[in-house]
Amino acid sequence: DARTSGKRRVLLKLSGEVFGGGDVGVDPATVRGIAEQIAEAADQVEIAIVVGGGNFFRGAELSKNGMDRRRADYMGMLGTVMNCLALQDFLEQAGVQTRVQTAITMAQVAEDYIPLRAVRHMEKGRVVIFGAGAGMPYFSTDTVAAQRALEIAADEVLMAKSGVDGVYTADPKKDPTAQKLATLTYDEALLKNIRVMDQTAMTMCKDNNLPMLVFGMEGAGNVTKALLGERIGTTVSV
């Protein structure tokens, strides 16, 4: 891993629910707000982003309602690309150079996923947005976040959450004595079935010693802080 810039390099995972502001589809004002926070950090950190698509389609849900799982998963992956384009648009408006790379070829819309080129973009100060998941049914964008982070040699995965600002000793909505944890190991998270990301993704992070920050989107400037390495939320590591 020849890191030329000496900068911290991170992989930010934004789930689809973040884009919709709680609804189906894309909420432009919400995406603009996130883009502006990313722009604040973009000259100090190398940033790649994996985008989810749950605000459009989740394959597992469509298949429960009668669709073929594989085709439904492709619909899910295509949904992520729309989120990528919305994020790209608002990042460019905020003065950040961006490239979208997709795991499913769609040359008019985005570059193909080419890891070395993605790294080169980051070294040039561009934010790289990864869409279309892994290009394979039965995967999740969480797993893709772990895989892309490893392949581009990111220092950390940043899991942005809405409605919760870290990992707690119990469900803070049900138990008033629940306390936020500053740190947690992957073994504890896996053992206690704490769903900060899916189990496949967590196992991949654990096996490859890749740390992760779980943080809440809600606090002012939280995305910028997480990108810059502030220990908001919960750090999960081996």
The reply to whether 217 sits in an annotated binding site is no
Q: Whole-number minimum distance, CB 22 to ligand UDP, in Å?
A: 12
**147 binds ligand UDP, rule: CB under 6 A:** no
The reply to whether 19 sits in an annotated binding site is no
* Residue whose CB is less far from ligand UDP, 60 or 170: 60
Q: How many residues bind ligand UDP (CB under 6 A)?
A: 22
**Mask of contacts with ligand UDP, 76-115, x by CB under 6 A?**
xx--x-----------------------------------
Only segment of 110-118, 138-146, 169-177, 178-186 that touches ligand UDP (CB under 6 A): 138-146
**CA–CA gap between residue 168 and residue 50 (Å, rounded):** 25
Q: Which of 72, 141, 138, 78 is nearest to 105 (CA)?
A: 78
**Mask of contacts with ligand UDP, 184-203, x by CB under 6 A?**
--------------------
**216 binds ligand UDP, rule: CB under 6 A:** no
**54 binds ligand UDP, rule: CB under 6 A:** yes
Which residue is at the shortest CB distance from ligand UDP?
52
**131 binds ligand UDP, rule: CB under 6 A:** no
DSSP for the chain reads: ---SS---EEEEEE-HHHHHTTSSS--HHHHHHHHHHHHHHTTTSEEEEEE--TTT--HHHHHHTT--HHHHHHHHHHHHHHHHHHHHHHHHHTT--EEEEESS--TTT-EE--HHHHHHHHHTTPEEEEESTTSSTT--HHHHHHHHHHHTT-SEEEEEESS--S-BSS-TTT-TT--B-SEEEHHHHHHTT--SS-HHHHHHHHHTT--EEEEES-STTHHHHHHHT---SEEEE-
Cα torsion through 206, 212, 216, 220, rounded to 10: 180
**Mask of contacts with ligand UDP, 9-28, x by CB under 6 A?**
------xxx-----------
Only segment of 21-29, 34-42, 104-112, 129-137 that touches ligand UDP (CB under 6 A): 129-137
* Residue whose CB is less far from ligand UDP, 104 or 232: 104
**Known binding-site residue numbers for ATP:** 13-16, 54, 58, 168, 171
Applying CB under 6 A, the residues found at the interface with ligand UDP are 15-17, 52-54, 58-60, 73, 76-77, 80, 133-134, 136-137, 139-142, 144
